[in-house]
Structure 1
Amino acid sequence: MDAIPFEDRNTLIQCLTNPEWRRRLPDWEVDLPRLIAEPAWKNLVKRLRQESELFERMWKEHDVSGERIVLKRYLHPDVGLLRFEFSYLYLGRRSEISLATLTPADEETAAKLPSSF
């Protein structure tokens, strides 16, 4: 896979516009409504409504949820299923910037990661 341009380095953009990325997220159908509920960026919403029919349909249906995802699963092409617990750190009450931290959810996942990870 080629390097992802800076402006496209967003899980929601990749999940909705990149089928290869979506294949690596086995729970994308469950998680997507929660992800769609999160963006506070008008430009991101506008872009996704233009580029993703799925986003546009879900946006119009208001089929979204504000519930936070506690466990994320990724299907890596070389090592298989990885499970991570995650949390968000918001950089201020009015900031649109957040940092997601991922921690292996089990020993099996931790063992699949490089030791320098």
Structure 2
Amino acid sequence: MEGLSEIINLLKGIESSIESLNKRTEHIEKRLDRLEKVDSIEHRVTSNQIDITDIKDALERMEEAQSTKIENMLKEILSKAEMKNNMEFSTIHKRLDSHLLKLGRVEEEILMVQQEK
């Protein structure tokens, strides 16, 4: 009888050990599930950060391209305006020169007329 009670006690001990192992495995499985979720979230965050970085780089490249286009357009406009102004100034200088020549001729004629008197 004593042998039977020892076997029963051993079986009860084994049963309680198996139950505690089952509880531990369930707990470990829950923790693994949570870790998988965290890994998934971290992966998504990392992927999104990469996407955001790529978008930021693309926007910066677009901004640089637009800046250079605008800069080139402004340089072109300024050079055209400068050429136009230079042409207008040269025309004004020519006209002033011709008027000065006319004034010089008139002064000469006035002096000649005064000398004749």
Same structural fold, with TM-score higher than 0.5 when normalized by the shorter chain:
no
Structure with higher Rg: it is: 2
In terms of fraction of residues, the more strand-rich structure is 1
Q: Which has the higher contact order (CA 8 A, sep 6+)?
A: 1
Q: TM-score normalised by the shorter chain: which range applies?
A: under 0.3
TM-score (norm 2): 0.13
TM-score w.r.t. the length of structure 1 is: 0.13
**Higher helix proportion (structure 1 or 2):** 2
